[in-house]
Amino acid sequence: MSDMSMGQGWWQARDDKWYPPRWEYRWAKGWLNPKRSHEPIEELVKELGLRGWEAVSYSISDNAISGSAHVVVLMKRPVFK
């Protein structure tokens, strides 16, 4: 095999074989309330971003009774092991 990498994120191990990137995932969960600041979920996602996590998807479920919305954000970051 040539000494060029297989693509973005691929890495060559000591055995001279190329391996794809590995990821770990986690969910960030919180609430949005139009009557209050959105800081709780925004601060959580911001803090995770500073630790190398990237938001890749999200879902928002509205609650008509309370006027709030439940937010779930899927986060990922590379594993270097």
Banded model confidence at residue 2, pLDDT cuts 50, 70, 90: low
Whether 44 shows a pLDDT value over 80: the answer reads yes
What are the sequence ranges of the domains in the chain?
22-79
Averaged pLDDT, 12-30: 90
Report whether pLDDT(1) > 60.
no
pTM of the prediction?
0.70
Q: Give the per-residue pLDDT at 63.
A: 75
69: Cβ contacts below 8 Å, ≥ 6 apart: 31, 32, 33, 60, 61, 62, 63
Q: What is the pLDDT of residue 69?
A: 82
Q: What is the mean pLDDT of residues 52-59?
A: 95
